[in-house]
């Protein structure tokens, strides 16, 4: 086991290209990432890592192992502010997903992380429907080099190979890399973000201020029959909009989109809206929920 751990850690460490001093806080969520993070970052040149919840513990005493759960980012956010760190990273239980926190302790949405990765990567690039449409709405990256994929590692990897893409991103916090066998890797994502940040003269929070504001809001609605697609398409406020049937139904709005996907396991629809403000998203989602009931 230790041989594999060393081989993997050496593989990752060689990809560190840090050009200026950085201080980072890493929360391993008492999962497996802590074992690798120690090997990769402790003693590395120009980068100081503060590791919290680094010891594997299946009871997950600090917080739940899902970074998307409420409160999962709070501890790392506090440590970033206390230690005046440049960046925070919170991993899930097995380390294949990662979410970031800026130097002011503010969580960074996964689509913004994708944008940072894409800006420093060579095209072509791949993103799931939500990340793709959000970046398209923000108009910060040429979508000529960005290709959409259905959600899920099977579809993302297939699209990457088809397009010969270098990087792919999912809303869930999975990031895939051609130079990592088209697989997702949370620690490699952290390394690439650190490399990007160390090449910038600005702090992360200042870089993020230049990105147009866009909000993603999600919700669910129970369904009792299969007529929801027809009801959606003929809803008064959507019937004149363009609809993309790539991964569920995506309704294109003037400053964003609404995506509706049926659950594979439950009688419900997952609603995802992206617009410049949360109130705009909530208005669209509430209106649709009333119409579908």
pLDDT tens for 214-272 read: 999 999 988 876 677 777 767 766 667 888 999 988 999 989 999 999 888 888 899 99
Query: In the structure encoding, which two tokens stand for residue 35, read together?
Result: 């074992």
Q: What confidence score (pLDDT) does residue 291 get?
A: 82
Tally of domains within the chain: 2
Predicted confidence (pLDDT) at residue 2 exceeds the cutoff of 70: no
Q: Are residues 284 and 184 in the same domain?
A: no
Q: Are residues 14 and 76 in the same domain?
A: yes
Q: What confidence score (pLDDT) does residue 232 get?
A: 73
Residue 120 forms part of a structural domain: no
Mean confidence (pLDDT) of the chain: 93
User: pLDDT over 90 for what percent of the chain?
Assistant: 81
More confident residue, 291 or 153: 153
For 33-89, what is each residue's pLDDT tens digit?
999 999 999 989 999 999 999 999 999 999 999 999 999 999 999 999 999 999 999
Encode burial over 171-188: b for 16+ CB neighbours within 10 A, e otherwise: bbbbbbbbebebebbbbb
- Strand pairing category for 167-169 and 175-177: antiparallel
Length of the chain: 293
Q: Which domain holds residue 12?
A: 2-114+170-209
Q: Are residues 44 and 187 in the same domain?
A: yes
Predicted confidence (pLDDT) at residue 1 exceeds the cutoff of 70: no
Residue 250 forms part of a structural domain: yes
Place 283 in a pLDDT band, splitting at 50, 70 and 90.
very high
Q: Are residues 93 and 186 in the same domain?
A: yes
Q: What confidence score (pLDDT) does residue 231 get?
A: 73
């Amino acid at each position: 086991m230790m041989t594999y751990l060393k081989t993997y850690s050496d593989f990752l460490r060689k990809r560190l290209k840090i050009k200026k001093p950085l201080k980072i806080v890493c929360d391993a969520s008492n999962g497996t990432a802590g074992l690798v993070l120690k090997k990769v970052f402790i003693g590395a040149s120009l980068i100081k890592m503060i590791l919290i919840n680094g010891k594997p513990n299946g009871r997950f005493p600090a917080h739940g192992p899902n970074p998307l759960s409420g409160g999962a980012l709070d501890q790392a956010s506090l440590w970033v502010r206390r230690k005046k760190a440049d960046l925070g990273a919170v991993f899930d239980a097995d380390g294949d997903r990662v979410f970031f926190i800026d130097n002011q302790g503010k969580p960074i949405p996964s689509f913004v992380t994708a944008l940072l990765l894409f800006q420093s990567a060579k095209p072509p690039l791949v993103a799931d429907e939500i990340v793709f449409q959000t970046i398209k709405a923000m108009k910060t990256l040429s979508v000529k080099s960005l290709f959409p994929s259905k959600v899920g590692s099977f579809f993302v990897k297939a699209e990457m190979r088809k397009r010969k893409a270098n990087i792919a991103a999912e809303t869930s916090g999975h990031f895939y890399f051609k130079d990592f066998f088209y697989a997702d890797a949370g620690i490699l994502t952290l390394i690439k973000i650190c490399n990007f940040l160390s090449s910038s003269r600005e702090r992360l929070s200042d870089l993020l201020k230049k990105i147009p504001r866009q909000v993603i809001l999600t919700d669910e609605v129970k369904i009792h029959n299969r007529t929801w697609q027809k009801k959606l398409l003929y809803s008064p406020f959507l019937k004149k909009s363009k609809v993309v049937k790539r991964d569920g139904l995506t309704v294109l709005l003037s400053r964003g989109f609404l995506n509706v996907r049926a659950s594979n396991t439950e009688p419900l629809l997952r609603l995802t809206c992206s617009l410049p403000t949360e109130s705009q998203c909530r208005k669209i989602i509430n209106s649709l929920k009333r119409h579908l009931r």
